[in-house]
Structure 1
Amino acid sequence: MTTSIFIDGAEGTTGLEIRQRLAGRTEFSILALDGAARKDAAARREALNDCDIAILCLPDDAAREAVTMIANDRTRVIDASSAHRVDDGWTYGFPELVGRDVIAKARFISNPGCYPTGFLGLVAPLVRKGLIPADWPYTINAVSGYSGGGKALIKRFEDDGSDIAFRAYGYDMAHKHREEMKAHAGLVHGVIFAPAVVPAYRGMVVEVPLHLGAMQGDPTAEQLRAALADFFHGSPIVSVHDGSTVAELLLETNAEPHDGMELFVCGNEGGWHARLVARLDNLGKGASGAAVQSLNLMTGQPEETGLALSA
C-alpha cells in the first residue's frame, strides 16, 4: 500500500527539490495539481483532504490557510514554511533534537529553517548538557547561497549583469529565525543574527563564536566537540569533526545537492576561544532534505532513504 503525498507549492524551489528526492520511490504516490488548479482553492482543498501527508511549500500566510482547509483528523502535515515553527500543537522537524520516535508519531510537523538548523545543531545539545549557558548572549555569523531567498532573490543574483558579490541583511535585528533559534535552543536571551548571501546557488556556513574563558565551568573546545560527537553518534546525516585541522571551509558556486550536515569545533591553543561551525546545504538538511527525512520517519522508512549523502 502506498502513501499518498500532496506537495502544495510543488513548483517552488523547495517543492521541486522534494519532488526530485521522491522520484522513483514506489512507496509514495504523488498527488499533483497542474496549471491553474495549483491556485484553485477548491482543487487544493480536495487534494489536502484526499492525501495521507501534505507537504506545504508555501509562503507563511498561504501555509496557515492550507492548514485551515484540512477538514479531517487523518491528513498529516509537514510545513516547510516558517508559519508554525514555534506554535503549540506542532512538532519541530529536527529528529536529532526532538527524537525520531516523536517525528514518527506526529501529525503536524514544522520544518526547521536553514540557518536555525546549523545554529541548533551546534548549540542546543551543548546547552542541554550544561556545557555552555542558556543565558549567554549568543551571536551567529552566517552566509548562504542565494536559492534560500526564493524566486525574487534568485532572479536578482542570476539576472544578466548582476554584480552582487556579497549581500548582508537583517540589520533591523528582527529576522524571523531569531525566535525559532531562541525557543528550540532553550535560551534566555534572543540571539544576535548576522546573515549574508553570496553568489553560490546552494550551501551555507553558520558560525557561533564563543569566549569560553568568560564562561563558568571553563569549558574547552575538546569537551564541546566530544559532547557533540556523542550527541550525534550513529546519525547517518550529521557528522562532527575536529576543527583543529581545518584551514578553511569552502562553498562551491555549483555544488551538487547534499542532505547531510557537518559540524566543526575549532579552538585556540589556550582554550579561551572557540568557533562552532556548521556547513550544510540550505536546500538539503536546511529545507527539502529535512522534509524528506521527516517523511521517511513518519512512514516507517530509514530516515536517510532517498537523501543525497555521499561526499
Structure 2
Amino acid sequence: MKTKVYIDGEAGTTGLQIRSRLAGRSDLDVFSLPEAVRKNGQRRAEAINSADVVILCLPDDAAREAVSFIANPAVRVIDASSAHRVTPDWVYGFAELSPDQSRKIATARFVSNPGCYPTGALAIVKPLIACKLVPSVYPFCIHAVSGYSGAGSQMIDQYENPENSAYTKTPIIGYGLSLEHKHIKEIECHAELARRPIFLPMIGRYRQGILMYVGIHLSALPDAVSVQQVHRTLEGYYDGHQHVSVTPLGDLRAPDNLDAESMNGNDGIRLHVFGNDEYRQCVVAAVYDNLGKGASGAAVQNLDLMISGS
C-alpha cells in the first residue's frame, strides 16, 4: 500500500523542492488541494487528517495552526518551519546528530526539520562536544554565507525581479547583528552548549548554497588537542553515514578554495578541516545546499526513515 503524503504549503520554495524530489516515487501517493482552496482551513484539516504523513512547509504560526487541526491519531508530521525545533515532544530531524537519532526519527510521530544554518553548525559542533574534544562552555563563533533562496520567496523576488522596488544588486548582506537570530537557540539546544554561541550570517548574491566556518582556538582548550584529532573525531562520528562526508585532511598549510555552490543539487553536507599547528588554530568548514540537506533534502531523508521504520 502506498504512503499518502500531503505537503501543506507546497507552493513555497521548500514545498516545491520536496515535491520535485518525490516526483515519480511509486511507493508514495503525494496529493494536493486545488489552488483555490489551499488556504481554506476546513479543506486543509480534511487533507491533513486523511494523510499518513504531512509535511508542513509554512510560516511558524501557520504550522502551529496545521498541527492543531490534527484529529487522526495515525497522522505523522514533518515540520519544515522553525515552530517546533526546540519543543521537547518533537524529535529533531537531523539523522546524523547522535548514534540513535535516525531510530528516533523512524519511530516518531512528530519530527521537526532542522534549520538550514543549524544543519551546518550542528554537523561541526555536536561531535566535538559529544566526544568531549571541546568543552560545552567553549565560546564558539559561527560564520556563514547563504544563497538568497534561504530567505524565502520575498527575498528571491528582491534579487531576481528588477521591477521590485526593493530589487538589489548588493553582493553580500550581513544581518543578525543584534545577536538574537532565531537559529541560535536551536544550535545551542541540540549541540548541548553551556555557553551561547555567536552566530554571524550573511546573504550572498547567488541563489543557493551555504559556506560555513567555525573557528577553534586549540590553545584555549583545557586539554591538548591537535588539528588531526579534530579531523579524526569528525571522520569517526560520521563513519557509515551517507549524507555527511569529511574530506581528507591533506596538507594543512595549503590554501584551499571552497565554493558555496559546489554541493548544490546534492542532499548531503561536506566538512573540511583546516588548521595551523604553529598558531594552535583550527577551522572547520561546512559546504551544503540550503535547499538540500538544509531543507527539502533533509525532509525527504526524514520521510524515508519514517516510512521504513528504521
User: TM-score surpassing 0.5?
Assistant: yes
Q: For residues 177-223 of structure 1, give each alpha carbon's deviation from its aligned partner in whole angstroms, at most 9, with x where no partner exists.
A: 00000000000111111000101111001111110111111211110
The unaligned stretches of length 5 or more in structure 2 are: none
Structure 2 counterpart of 1:71: 71
| Equivalent residue pairs, number | 301
The unaligned stretches of length 5 or more in structure 1 are: 303-311
What does 1:160-199 correspond to in 2, within 5 Å?
160=162, 162-199=168-205
Structure 2 counterpart of 1:4: 4
Q: Secondary structure at the match of 2:29?
A: strand
Q: Does the CA-based 8 Å contact 2:210-2:261 persist in structure 1? A: no
For residue 266 of structure 1, the aligned residue among 274, 279, 289 is 274
Q: Secondary structure at the match of 2:308?
A: coil
Structure 1 counterpart of 2:257: 248
Structure 2 counterpart of 1:307: none
Q: For residues 148-202 of structure 1, give each alpha carbon's deviation from its aligned partner in whole angstroms, at most 9, with x where no partner exists.
A: 0001110111122632111110011111000000000000111111000101111
- Partners of 1:256 and 1:223 lie apart in 2 by 29
Which amino acid is the alignment partner of residue 57 of structure 2? C
- Partners of 2:117 and 2:57 lie apart in 1 by 17
Structure 2 counterpart of 1:207: 213
Structure 2 counterpart of 1:305: none
- Partners of 2:309 and 2:256 lie apart in 1 by 38
- Partners of 2:227 and 2:46 lie apart in 1 by 53
For residue 154 of structure 1, the aligned residue among 156, 173, 181 is 156
Q: Calculate the TM-score normalised by the size of structure 2.
A: 0.94
What is the Cα-based RMSD across aligned positions, in Å?
1.5
- Partners of 2:259 and 2:215 lie apart in 1 by 18
Which amino acid is the alignment partner of residue 260 of structure 2? L
Q: Calculate the TM-score normalised by the size of structure 1.
A: 0.94
Q: CA deviation at 1:242?
A: 3.3
Q: Percent identity?
A: 46
From the superposition, tell whether residues 301 and 107 of structure 1 become closer, same or farther in structure 2 (CA, over 3 Å).
Answer: closer
- Partners of 2:261 and 2:299 lie apart in 1 by 24
Structure 1 counterpart of 2:35: 35
Q: CA deviation at 1:271?
A: 5.8
For residue 295 of structure 1, the aligned residue among 283, 287, 303 is 303
Which amino acid is the alignment partner of residue 16 of structure 1? L
Q: Does the CA-based 8 Å contact 1:242-1:266 persist in structure 2? A: no
Say whether 1:16 aligns with 2:16.
yes
Structure 1 counterpart of 2:238: 232
Q: For residues 207-259 of structure 1, give each alpha carbon's deviation from its aligned partner in whole angstroms, at most 9, with x where no partner exists.
A: 11110111111211110110111110011111001353551101349x74211
Q: Does the CA-based 8 Å contact 1:220-1:271 persist in structure 2? A: no
Which amino acid is the alignment partner of residue 249 of structure 1? L
Which amino acid is the alignment partner of residue 45 of structure 1? A
**Runs of 4+ off more than 4 Å:** none
From the superposition, tell whether residues 246 and 9 of structure 1 become closer, same or farther in structure 2 (CA, over 3 Å).
Answer: farther
Structure 2 counterpart of 1:218: 224
Q: CA deviation at 1:17?
A: 0.2
Q: Secondary structure at the match of 2:143?
A: strand
Q: CA deviation at 1:265?
A: 1.0
Q: Secondary structure at the match of 2:97?
A: helix
- Partners of 2:172 and 2:41 lie apart in 1 by 39
Which amino acid is the alignment partner of residue 5 of structure 1? V
Which amino acid is the alignment partner of residue 51 of structure 2? C
- Partners of 1:199 and 1:271 lie apart in 2 by 34
From the superposition, tell whether residues 234 and 156 of structure 1 become closer, same or farther in structure 2 (CA, over 3 Å).
Answer: same
Structure 2 counterpart of 1:308: none
Which amino acid is the alignment partner of residue 103 of structure 1? I
Which amino acid is the alignment partner of residue 81 of structure 1? S
Which amino acid is the alignment partner of residue 280 of structure 1? Y
- Partners of 1:37 and 1:230 lie apart in 2 by 49
Moved more, 242-251 or 17-26: 242-251
Q: Does the CA-based 8 Å contact 1:228-1:240 persist in structure 2? A: yes
